Amino acid sequence: MPIIKTLKKIRDNYVINQVRKTKLPKFPKSETVRLRCTFSGRVQKVGFRLEMSEMAKRLGLTGWCRNLENGDVQAEIQGAWKKIDYLICFMGTPWRISVVKRVTERLPLVMDEKGFDISK
């Protein structure tokens, strides 16, 4: 296996294990919302989308995230407001990620959405 693929696999396993080990707080009930969030900084080639996807799944959120050509990552996240807020804040904490700017906007809900997808 080429070295790049090996290193990516090691990183991905690390990300998944870190998300699994994260202790989640108890969340009060909150309004269901959908947000589009664009993250700028060191957010590509660091496992950002995988980390977001794994944590969103743990939190029971739906949506997607994708890399943008300008180096940013854009996501649409739907679910309980408090859980989305936790996810967005969480994404600024891993040591290998550096979010320097975050822009969010509220969107209409998407009915019958299932899961959280990573787009390329």
Residue (of 111, 100, 91, 77) closest to 46 by Cα position = 91
Query: Which amino acids are annotated catalytic?
Result: 49, 67
Dump the DSSP string for 44-79.
SSSSHHHHHHHHHHHHT-EEEEEE-TTS-EEEEEEE
CA dist 71 and 85 (Å) reads: 23
Helix (H) or strand (E) holding 95: none
